Amino acid sequence: MRLLIMSDTHLPRRAKALPPQLLDAVPHADVVIHAGDWVDTATLDLLQSRARRLIGVYGNNDGPELRARLPEVARAELAGLRLGVVHETGPAQGRERRCAERFPDLDVLVFGHSHIPWDSTTADGRLRLLNPGSPTDRRRQPYCTYLTARARAGRLTSVELHRLPRRG
């Protein structure tokens, strides 16, 4: 199962549109995951119209319209993998411990908020944490980013961070 993972799109504040490379990947994914801070409903509508399946949550910058349509936390089983999605997980220090305590029933937790790519596993190896960064607002990062992954038989078989070309 092919996963396309993004967060913190902040449209139209940080960019006018999703990057073409990211949009082109949507129909090739079995599941598109968005970890919040959409900012506009048009992005949600666009991804819902193009994705085979969309799993999303709202973030701290998302207003009442998005909060009415999206949960704060989403959970799904994908190819036997127990996946959760949330926008915020708090500071980097202690993140793995906090998330393992908050989400004891998950194999993978996708989160956003920081715009900083993250890929770590809890000390016991039970929970993997993934942050795709942002495809539209790199903040202090060298590139805007998103992730792709593959799930099979209850585990992630690959995770790849994609760097997007700098906008002119």
Q: pLDDT tens digits for 1-50?
A: 999 999 999 999 888 999 999 999 999 999 999 999 999 999 999 999 99
Residue 71: which of 102, 104, 33, 107 has the closest Cα? 33
pTM, whole model, 2 decimals?
0.97
Residue 131: the pLDDT is: 98
Of 33-37, 81-85, 162-166, which range is least confident?
162-166
**Average pLDDT in the chain:** 96
Bridging pattern class, strands 31-34 and 2-6: parallel
Q: For residues 20 and 41, is the Cβ–Cβ distance under 8 A? A: no
% of the chain residues with pLDDT over 70 = 99
pLDDT number for residue 51: 98
pLDDT at 14: 84
CB atoms within 10 A of CB 150: 15
